Amino acid sequence: MKHVFLTSGILVAISGCSISANVPPLAEQHSDLLDEDADGVINARDLCDNTPNTVIIDNDGCPSYVLFENDSSLRIQFANDSAIVEPAYREELDKMAEFLHLYPETSLELQGHTSSLGTNTYNSELSVQRAEAVKAQLIDRGIKTDRLAIVGLGENDLVLADTTETSQLVNRRVVGRVKGFKGDIEEAWTIFTRREQ
């Protein structure tokens, strides 16, 4: 039996054959295209699991952070030949403890320093004692000891090298450097977001 079709003005005759279209092969999918934490980045590319849905993320699915000036540093001066933390630094220590409580993923390196007066060995020991004194103050404020590291630099990192009393005073210090702080997570815009004045 012959079938005759008219297609676009061209007469086509088909006799006893069936029409079969070429079906493209199905592609094998090896990557995980799901987005389990619903952050808009597929699992195969997502480097940060369980990203909160309230934050701005980068192309890897990780939160964006806002870096800013804050109370994430500490500086305490000492009297000559002393490792006693003066009461005047109570507020500064409170702020540092509050910061460390707020960011539990951080740690603090306490670097002890001395002036150039005295022997190198004595100054090295004194710088450690000063750092330990600051550490004790922070432990009293609830900071765990494993988050506080001690480095005794002695007189090896002088701020001022001359021997005037002012220079010697500036050199007698403990400096706290926060480790592991990325910044605050940048929140995504919502209808409740206020514009900065």
- Residues 105-115, mean pLDDT to the nearest whole number: 90
Q: Identify the bridge partners of residue 6 per DSSP, sorted by sequence position.
A: 11
Is residue 139 over pLDDT 90?
yes
**Per-residue pLDDT tens over the stretch 21-60:** 677 777 676 666 777 767 667 777 766 776 666 666 666 6
- pLDDT computed for residue 103 by the predictor: 83
Is residue 151 over pLDDT 80?
yes
Which three-class secondary structure string do you get for 86-140? CHHHHHHHHHHHHHHHHCCCCEEEEEECCCCCCCHHHHHHHHHHHHHHHHHHHHH
Q: Which residue has the tokens 């000036």?
A: 69
pLDDT band at 150 (very low <50, low <70, confident <90, very high): very high
The CATH number of the domain covering residues in 66-185:
3.30.1330.60
The H or E element containing residue 165 is: helix 165-171
Sheet strands (E) in 118-194:
148-152, 173-179, 184-185
Residue 43, token pair as written in the block = 């699992």
- pTM of structure: 0.58
The domain segmentation of the chain, as residue ranges, is 66-185
